[in-house]
Structure 1
Amino acid sequence: MARGRRRSAHLGTPLPPAPCVRPSPWHRGPDMTSDNTRRAYAQDWQHYSRWCRLRGDDPLPPRPETIALYLADLARPQDTSAGLSLASIERRLSGLSWNAQQRGFDLDRRDPTLAAALTDIRHRLNRPATTKDPLGARDILAMISTLPRDLRGMRDRTILLMGYAGGLRRSEIVGLDARRDAPYGGQGWVTLSEPGALLVLRAGDGWREVEIGRGSSDRGCPVHALEQWLSYAKIDQGPIFVRVSRDAKRILGGRLNDRHVARLVKQTVHDAGIRGELPEKDRMALFSGHSLRAGFAHHAEAAEHLVRAQLGIGSPPPRADPEMRFQVNLTRAAGL
C-alpha cells in the first residue's frame, strides 16, 4: 500500500497517514513504527472495535475499565476458543495504546484498573501446568448422579464435592478430621457454620484455611453433603472419610487411603460418560484425583489472589478475621 494513503479501521475510525506525509494535528513527534507493526496494530483496533460493538460499547474514548474486561476475555474467552498467551495479550494492549494515541487520547497502562487486570492475567496464565484434565461443575454434577443412594454413595458424593469446591489434594481430603486437636494423625479439621465449612489444613510448618461456601442448591452443595454424611454415619470425631461395609449399611472405621479418591474419580468419570468420544484407555488416562483440584483452579471465577489462597499457592495469607470469612462464595464461583 502506498505511503500516505489512509486505511480505515472498524467502525469507521480512520488511521492517520504515515508520519512523513501530512501528519494529523494530534500526531506526537516522530513515529518509528514499522509498516508491519502498523498493520498488526490496525488489526488489533478492528478486533477491539468489533468486541465493543457486540457489547454495545464505543471504543472511543478508550476507558480502562472496558479495556480491562477485553483483556480478561482474551485470556479466557466466553466461547470454546483457546485464550491468548500473556505475550500476545500484552502486545494487543500495546496496539490499543498506539491506536488511542494516534486518535488523540491517552491510555495509561499504569492505570490501577488496567494494572490489576494484567496482574490477574499474569497469575492466571502462569499457574502451574497440570498433567490431568480439569473437571468442571457440570462434570461433577454428572459424576455424583451415578452414585448409589446409600452410605457409600453419600460418602463418595461428599468427597467429590468437597474436593472440587475446596481445590483440595487427595491427601487433604482423606486427612480431614471432624474435630480439632484430636490425636488421629490427620491433615486438618472442619468447622461447620451457617455460611459454610471452614477447613484448617497443614501447610508446611503452619496451617492454612480453606473456605467452602454453600452451593446454589442442595444437589451440588458440598456443605449440605458433608452435613448429611456426618449425620447418617454418626461421625463426630476422628477421620471424616472412613471405610464402609460391603453392603454399604455400616461404618467400619479406619481412614480411607488417598488412592480411593483417584479410583473414585476415574470410576465416576467412566459411569457419567465424560469424554465418551475417546477410547476407554485414553479417557481414563486424562483424569485422576488431581482433576478435582485442577478443575477448581481452571473454572473458579474469582479474583486471582482468592483462588491462589484457596489452593495454597504462594505464601499463606494471614488468618482472616472471623467476621470477614465467606465474603466471597468460592463454591458458587466454581459453578456449584
Structure 2
Amino acid sequence: MSGTGRQLAVTADEVVDAELVDEGAALSPAPADPGATPAVHTDRDRHLSPETVAAIEESVADSTRRAYSADREAFAAWCATEGRVPVPASGETMAEWVGYLTVTPRKRTGKPAGPSTIERAMSAVTSWHEEQGHPKPNMRGARKVLNAYKDRLAEAKAEAARARQATAALPSQIRAMLIGTDRSTLAGMRNAALVLLGFATAARVSELVALDLAAVEETEHGYDVTLYRKKVRKHTTNAILYGTDPATCPVRALRAYLAALEAAGRTEGPLFVRVDRWDRIAPPLTRRNKDTGIVEPIGDPAGRMTAEAAAEVVERLAVAAGLSGDWSGHSLRRGFATAARAAGHDPLEIARAGGWVDGSRVLARYMDDVDRVKNSPLVGIGL
C-alpha cells in the first residue's frame, strides 16, 4: 500500500479496546503528579519502522487491503479533481463524494457502484482518518445520500438494491457439481476433495488453500483437519466424518486424493496443489526480471494453489453442472451453514465449527434464510 507508516490498512473493528491501554500505565498505575510537565510526543514517538508497518498490514486480509487501498486512492483522486481536502475530510466532502459514487458509472460494469460497495468505500476512508490520527469525518449527510440511493434502487426494482450473496452450495448442488468430475485423474481427485473438504469445514478458500498435509490426521471417525481461522485468529480442529453417499463423502474423497499425492511423491507441503494440463503436479513457475535479467519464482514454489484458483474450481464445476446462481468459493461456506441449520444443528456449534466470530451478522443472515420458513408464524395455524 502506498503512503506513510501511518496509512495502515487496519480498521477500527480489528482493534481490541484492551489493546489501546498504554502498557506502562497498566504496569505502573501510580497517579500522575499534578505539577509534572505533560509529556509531548515528537515525530519519533509517531514513527513506525517498515517492518512494523508490514506486520500490521499482514494482519488484514489481502482482499480487504487491496479493496481499501483502491477506494482510498479513488477518493484522493476525486478530491484532487474537486479541489477538496481528502484527510481530514469535511462532512460536506463525504456527502458530495457518496453522491458522486451513486451516479457515476464504473468502467467495469458501466453502472454506478452498488450500496454495499459504497459502504465499503466509506469504511475505507473513515478508517484512513483514524490511522492518520484524525477523528472520523461527520457521516450524517453521506448516510442520508446513501439511504436515498437505496430507496431509488428499490423503487426501480434494480438488481443492485439487494446485496449480492454467494449461492449456497447445498449437498444436492455439490452432488450435481461432482457428477461430471473425472476422479480417475489427479486434478479430478483434487477438485472433489477441495469441494467436499471446503464444505465439511466451512472454510474460506484462503483458509482451505493454506492447509498443509501435516494438518490432516486420519482417525477412527475419518479425519481431523486443523485450520487457522484468520478472522478470529484461532485454530479449529474439524472432525471430517464419513458421508452416507460415497459420491459426496469427504473422507473417501480426501483419502483418494492423499493416496494420489503420495504416489506422485508428495508427503509434505501444501495439501491443495496446482495440477498442469498433463495431470502432473505443476512445477514451480518462474519469470525473468526485465531489469535485472534474474529468473525469479512466481507464486508458491511448492505449488500451492491460490485462493482465486480454488474459487475458480467451485465456479467452473457449478457452471459445468448447469447450476444457476452466483457461485464463488464462499458458496461452500454458506452452504455448510444453511444445510447444518436446516438439519437442526445449534447456531453456536455451527459458528464454532466454521470459525465465525461471536454474533456474526453474516452467519445470522444465513440462519434467517432457514428459520424464516421453519419458524414462520404461518406454520401450523390451519390455513
Q: What band does the TM-score fall into relative to the shorter chain?
A: 0.3 to 0.5
Calculate the TM-score normalised by the size of structure 1. 0.48
In the superposition, the TM-score normalised over structure 2's length comes to 0.42
